[in-house]
Chains A and B, each alone.
Chain A
Amino acid sequence: MYELNICHLYPDLLNLYGDRGNIIALKRRCEWRGINVNVSNISIGDNFDAESYDIIFLGGGQNYEQEILHDDVINQKGNEIRNAISNNKVFLAVCGGYQLLGKFYKTWDGKEIQFLDAVDFWTIGDKKRMIGDFVFECDFLKENGFDGKVVGFENHSGRTYLGPNVKPLGKIIKGYGNNGKDGFEGALYKNVYCTYSHGSLLPKNPAFADHLIALSLKQKYKDFVSLSYLNDEFEELANRTMIKRIIG
């Protein structure tokens, strides 16, 4: 029997608006297929050993909470996170968690906050928030006849810019994405998936959830071939209804 160990980093601080739905989705979709899942909640002061986990999740947080964890994530867990990323560990990082993996965050009034420098991107704050439902298209999801369209909700004031070796996660069909200008959303580097999409992301985009599950099983088990079929009637209906409404 296959088993996946999921690490939810700072669940008590980075838990803005339904981010835990991603953990619920990963867990249920594994369980429905007879794959055992353990979820570990790791927060401030906890020992973090990335090798014990197959998927590491970072959610979004409010400014106040991000300030609280800043020292712990930079000085206590930073090296472990950077090593895990270069060793191809699967990460999913949303919104504030996404920004945290980058080089820095520069506030709209010019203050620069150092981040993890784990992936080559950076974020610049702005006064105007980018809020709303949005749709983007991911090439890595275009298989088995699926069109790769992902739907979510974004709400961020930071504008993120990617360095030369980092690919965007997807192309914006409708909405703002990384910075509202270049037409791209999120970041993809090695096995690190970063996005501004909460909403939650994975329940309503089951292809994305399965992509992450399959990827981590492939890394862990040499004999793993593919995931078994699930009836996703409700999920697909939710996904298609929103895409139709947003794109028109």
Chain B
Amino acid sequence: MNLRLTFTIIITKLLIFILRIFKHGGTSLPGKVARKIYPDIIKVISKDFKIIMVTGTNGKTTTTRIIGKVLENNGVTYVTNKSGANLVSGVITTFIDSVDITGKSKASTALLEVDEAAFNVVTDFVQPDILVVTNFFRDQLDRYGELYSTLNNVRSGVEKSPNAKLVLNADDSLCVSLAHNLDRDVIYYGFAHGATDSGESIENSDAVYCLYCKSRYEYSYQVYGHLGAFSCPNCGYSRPLPQVACLKVVDLNSSYSDIEFTLESTDDANERVSHNARINLPGLYNIYNALAAASLGHLLGFPAGSIIKAMESFECGFGRMETIETNGKTIKIILVKNPTGFNQVLTYLLTETQEAQIAFIINDKLADGTDISWLWDVDFEKLEKIQENISMFYTSGIRAEDMAVRLKYAGIYTDKIALIKDHEELLNKALEKTQEGRTLYILPTYTAMLEIRKLLNKKFGLKEFWK
């Protein structure tokens, strides 16, 4: 028996227990302490797990949730860092929480969401058996640095994990590059030609020019942002054929999406087996998340039926379209954290056909990014189209004033913009104005989401996030 290990586990577990009593969640601090006492702890206790990691800019939490459901449907016992504690300490806490005092766990698999900036460091301690990468988009620059340094960080983590099988987004030229010139098992997922016609202008600001020769990519079609069928006319770097592909978006509405997809793409449409599935969360971006999870399930040899069932029934994560019903009114919370993610949420809001209200809560704390200039990269102009349908736009949070300015310059009438700094007042006023059967959409940045969830929890009771 390793006494140092047992001692560290006991101390850490105690800490987790105490923090939860005081409702602090206790997702990161215990891991930090454990690392101080026993720096190698994660290596020791993770060695018996099959490790699946999910990283990338957007969609990590949702993808992890769907994968969780796929595992569950196939009787796999697993541990996961559900609450988005996705830095090194959070990963350690997750492992320690799951083992007994001798370091053994009942679970066979660890399903870990890992922050894309932390992935490289995490792989110093523990390497994935399978790595799922969602996408790369520009994110908080003051936190992550330039997009290409984030990409190269993840690349370095991939190199440190020589045995990892990769699940990559075929439509993302940055993501595909992770396997370029590497001899690895890779499953690609993506949208087949003609699967969707989003019909809106597509802004590609993150990967216009070839990563290898700096020529401008040609696209035979785009899905959104830089995602699509890219190819470089000069050096030939191009989108690989996705094995797992969305063949058709059958219905895209404000509650769910119906898709036709395949797990085994072939060029011959007559030969491929296609499946129909309903994805429990709306929005084009969640189709990508579902495809990523399907690829993982397929890689592990699970039957299509169990994957489809997972897509239909997974529970959304913390602040990702969490829904609260109160007095016949609906509140939906949708986390926003970077331009592409925010744009996708706005596109989703355009599917709302009934009168609704929208509250933007923008903070600029460290976890949100201290620089809020990215709000000007979000295409709020498209809200102009539905503003007759929106009875009021609320702005709140530390940067409520900046958000109000942004809406004004997007063409929203100033008498439709209400600036309310206090969250409680915001919630009361907005709910009062929401009619029965209608929805109040709350779009918070990360720390604003923590605040508003706390308040909503006090008022209506929510699931605690560490459960």
Interface of A with B (CB < 8 Å)?
Answer: 12-13, 15-21, 24-25, 28, 44, 62-65, 67-68, 131-133, 153, 155, 198-200, 203-204, 231, 233-235, 237-238, 241-242
- The 3 A-B pairs of least Cβ separation, nearest first, read A21-B376, A18-B376, A18-B373
B409 adjacent to A21 (CB under 8 Å): yes
Residues of A within 8 A of B374 (CB): 17-18
B402 adjacent to A238 (CB under 8 Å): yes
Q: How far is the CB of B130 from chain A (nearest CB, A)?
A: 29
Q: Of B141, B208, B402, B414, which is within 8 A of A13 by CB? A: B208
Q: Decide yes or no: A234 and B141 within 8 Å by CB, A12-B208, A13-B208, A18-B374 being known contacts.
A: no
B142 adjacent to A155 (CB under 8 Å): yes
Interface residues of B in 141-181 (CB under 8 A from A): 141-142, 146-148
CA gap between A15 and B208 in the complex, in Å: 12
Interface residues of B in 360-418 (CB under 8 A from A): 370-377, 401-402, 404-406, 408-409, 411, 414, 417
Q: Decide yes or no: A203 and B208 within 8 Å by CB, A17-B377, A62-B147, A131-B142 being known contacts.
A: no
Task: Give 18 new A-B contacts, CB below 8 A, not counting A18-B374, A18-B377, A237-B401.
Answer: A12-B204, A16-B141, A17-B374, A18-B373, A21-B376, A21-B406, A21-B409, A24-B409, A28-B411, A62-B147, A64-B146, A131-B371, A155-B142, A198-B371, A200-B376, A204-B405, A234-B408, A235-B408
Interface pairs (21), CB distance under 8 Å: A17-B141, A17-B371, A17-B373, A17-B376, A18-B375, A25-B409, A62-B147, A63-B148, A64-B146, A153-B373, A155-B142, A155-B371, A231-B414, A234-B404, A234-B419, A235-B405, A235-B408, A237-B404, A237-B419, A238-B405, A242-B401
CA gap between A128 and B147 in the complex, in Å: 18
B266 at the interface (CB under 8 A from A): no
Residues of A within 8 A of B419 (CB): 234, 237
Residues of A within 8 A of B147 (CB): 62
CA gap between A20 and B370 in the complex, in Å: 19
B454 at the interface (CB under 8 A from A): no
CA gap between A20 and B146 in the complex, in Å: 18
Residues of B within 8 A of A153 (CB): 370-373
CA gap between A200 and B419 in the complex, in Å: 20
Interface of B with A (CB < 8 Å)?
Answer: 141-142, 146-148, 204-205, 208-209, 214, 216, 370-377, 401-402, 404-406, 408-409, 411, 414, 417, 419
B377 adjacent to A64 (CB under 8 Å): no
Q: Of A203, A233, A241, which is within 8 A of B406 by CB? A: A203
B376 adjacent to A234 (CB under 8 Å): no
The residue on B at minimum CB distance from A238 is B401
Residues of A within 8 A of B208 (CB): 12-13
B148 adjacent to A64 (CB under 8 Å): yes
Residues of B within 8 A of A242 (CB): 401-402
Residues of A within 8 A of B409 (CB): 21, 24-25, 28, 203
B373 adjacent to A234 (CB under 8 Å): no
B209 adjacent to A234 (CB under 8 Å): no
Q: Of B370, B401, B404, which is within 8 A of A132 by CB? A: B370
Q: Of B216, B377, B402, which is within 8 A of A20 by CB? A: B377
Residues of A within 8 A of B204 (CB): 12
User: Max chain B CB contacts within 10 Å: which of A63, A68, A131, A234?
Assistant: A234
User: Max chain B CB contacts within 10 Å: which of A19, A20, A62?
Assistant: A62
Residues of A within 8 A of B377 (CB): 15, 17-18, 20
The residue on B at minimum CB distance from A61 is B146
Q: How far is the CB of B183 from chain A (nearest CB, A)?
A: 26
CA gap between A199 and B370 in the complex, in Å: 11
B414 adjacent to A234 (CB under 8 Å): yes
Q: How far is the CB of A207 from chain B (nearest CB, A)?
A: 14
CA gap between A25 and B417 in the complex, in Å: 18
A203 adjacent to B376 (CB under 8 Å): yes
CA gap between A199 and B376 in the complex, in Å: 8
B205 adjacent to A234 (CB under 8 Å): no
Q: How far is the CB of B235 from chain A (nearest CB, A)?
A: 14
Q: Of B205, B214, B370, which is within 8 A of A12 by CB? A: B205
B408 adjacent to A199 (CB under 8 Å): no
CA gap between A31 and B381 in the complex, in Å: 15
Residues of A within 8 A of B371 (CB): 17, 131, 153, 155, 198-199
CA gap between A64 and B372 in the complex, in Å: 22
Q: Of B402, B411, B417, which is within 8 A of A204 by CB? A: B402
The residue on B at minimum CB distance from A235 is B405
Residues of B within 8 A of A13 (CB): 208-209
The residue on B at minimum CB distance from A20 is B376
Q: How far is the CB of A97 from chain B (nearest CB, A)?
A: 15
Q: Of A24, A25, A132, A198, which is within 8 A of B373 by CB? A: A198
Residues of A within 8 A of B205 (CB): 12, 15
A241 adjacent to B401 (CB under 8 Å): yes
